[in-house]
Structure 1
Amino acid sequence: MSFKTILSVVGAKDAVSDISKAIELSTELDAHLSILAIGTALPPIASDYPVATAWIEQRQAEINALLEVRQNGEDMCRSNGVSFDTDYLYDDRFILESNLSMRALYADLVLLGDGARHDSDIRKAVVAGTVFDAHVPLLLAPAKGKSSLRPKNVLLAWNSRAEAARAAKEALHMLIEADAVHVVIVDPDSSYFKNGGEPGADIAAFLARHGVKVVVEQVASGERSVEVVLRQHALEIGCDMIVMGAYGHSRLRERVFGGVTASILEDCEFPVFFAR
């Protein structure tokens, strides 16, 4: 499946850079671009009149900033000849999640640029609403370097879990076109209920049947965290995309993501394709 509709979620900060990345990726695939500018609404304040007035004014200022982002997005898309639509949302985080989930149903891919990614409320709302609720893949595009949906050298983070398999299948058309796909297993466990007798062999065989040029790489952590190992290995092999599953806990814990997912979400110098 190719990506024909990309939903780009941007905030008020560094929006021009995020929109530029989205336009580049949409142009690369001749895809339709939906730009959604979002902001987390200030909670109501029950206080004296002057404070309440300041609260209302600040809310309006934040809405105006999103409207400006939306207008900039429209202007940039028109000047680049991109098929597009734009909208904005300003509400509390959980309503944002619900709206993002609904909108993601009509997209092949959700894009989160570096500016919006570093707003923790936006980041959490986007991941929860799209990857976890709508089960739509998410691409994190770093500020530096070129992001591409036609990567040539891919690192597939593998741990023999359903989420990792889902990510591989969602990214399959990209993996097929890549020059090399590195299936990377950190501290493999050859027991039956872990990675199997030959860790990585099963997913490598599956991918090879689809024509993927795949190599399995078993990496020892040396007591480093998994996310540090993945970043370092990605740098060593010169990959231009990391593909991985997203992992999380129950809704009762507000979807507190597992350590690897959380760390990669917060900061990674490579484009990261998440699915669950």
Structure 2
Amino acid sequence: MATMTILSILGSEQASEDLSAAIQVATEVGAHLVVFAAGIAEPPTVGDYPVGIGWIERRDEASRQLEAVRSRAVQQCQSSGLTSEVAIAFAEKAPLDDMLFQKALHSDLAVIGRGVSGLADLRRVVVDAVIFHAGRPLLLASDKGTVTLKPKRVLLAWDSKPGAAHAATAAMKLLVDADQVNLVIVDPEARDGEEPGADAAAYLARHGVKVVVDQLASDGRPVETLLQQHASEIQADLMVMGAYGHSRMRQWIFGGVTASVLQGPSLPVFMAH
């Protein structure tokens, strides 16, 4: 019997809660769980100035906090009954990116919670390594709902671009098993055709997805806010969306005026590139 490998990436904050979400998902599908406690080490001062005591103390304290996360994670995993492994990395951004890339490359799905998504620098490294470098999907857990890989109602954000298509393909089993998938198009454009979403819906239906198309007008509202509002209206328990290298959506992933959305998403979000 095939076994999924799920990668749980933890920061130094809210690690127990984030790991609990990953354990919940891994238990649901009988997956092997790889836990990776990650921290960005503050680089030394550039120039002719000597390294200060304050810098050493900050790095030492951050390292100790992450080691405590690792120790608690080992205990949580042992109590879960899952097969698991726990690793730790405290490094500057470039080497940490490479270590995360290697872990993600040998996993089927990465799971993060607010302990990572709420820290802009760590979030950027994680998203780059997992989605853009390793090409693996990322599940962002929410504090406000149950995270699951067996959702009943799914919102699929669609914009007729490869990113959305790749996300739909990566999440196809979830979409097929759901009771209903709402394919949502915001501000349809000419490339969406005479009947926006119809071709995508037909493609999904041939796979066995029970899909309906919702066309929404943003009226100047941020796309990510509109999607989350609509997800609430249709009582979706998962959002599936593409992650883009250069677009409004990457602002959502990496911060900016919509950073608050990532810090407290209203439902779990499945992202792929």
C-alpha displacement at 1:16, in angstroms? Answer: 0.8
In the TM superposition, what whole-angstrom CA distance separates every residue of 1:107-130 from its partner, at most 9, and x where no partner exists?
000111111110111100010011
Structure 2 CA distance for partners of 1:36 and 1:227, relative to 1, 3 Å = same
1:201 is aligned to 2:190: no
| Cα distance in structure 2, aligned partners of 1:100 and 1:256 | 25
> Residue in 1 aligned with 2:72?
72
Residue in 2 that maps onto 1:125? 125
> Is contact 2:239–2:269 with CA below 8 Å preserved after alignment?
yes
Closer/same/farther in 2, CA of residues 26 and 42 from structure 1, 3 Å limit: same
Superposition TM-score, scaled by structure 2 size: 0.92
**CA offsets 1:28-51 (integer angstroms, 9 cap, x no match):** 1110111100111011136877x7
1:116-146 deviation line (CA, Å, top 9, x unaligned): 1101111000100110011100010012321
Matched, 1:258 2:255: no
Of residues 216, 225, 233, the one that matches 2:230 is: 233
Does the CA contact (< 8 Å) of 1:3 and 1:108 recur in 2? no
Q: Partners of 1:109 and 1:256 in 2: how far apart?
A: 24
2:228 aligned with 1:223: no
Q: What does residue 145 of structure 1 align with?
A: 145
- Taking the TM superposition and a 5 Å limit, the aligned residue runs for 1:177-216 are 177-189=177-189, 191=190, 194-216=191-213
| 1:33 aligned residue | 33
SS at match of 1:258: helix
Gaps of 5+ in 2: none
Structure 2 CA distance for aligned equivalents of residues 92 and 48 of structure 1 = 20
SS at structure 2 position matched to 1:8 = strand
The CA distance in 1 between the partners of 2:249 and 2:205, in whole Å, is 31
Q: Quote how far apart the aligned CAs of 1:266 are.
A: 4.8
Question: Take 2:211 and 2:144, find their aligned partners in 1: how far apart are those partners?
Answer: 27
CA contact (8 A) 2:224 2:249 kept: no
- Corresponding residue SS for 2:192: coil
Amino acid at match of 2:250: G
RMSD (Å) for aligned C-alpha atoms: 1.9
1:25, CA displacement in angstroms? 0.9
Change (3 A) 1:265 1:248: farther
Please, which moves more after superposition, 87-96 or 38-47? 38-47
Count of residue correspondences: 266
Structure 1 unaligned spans of 5+: 250-254
How high is the TM-score relative to the length of structure 1? 0.91
Alignment of 1:19-98 (within 5 A): 19-45=19-45, 52-98=52-98
Are 1:185 and 1:200, in contact at CA under 8 Å, matched by a contact in 2? yes
Runs (4+) off by over 6 Å = 46-49
| Equivalent position amino acid for 1:211 in 2 | G
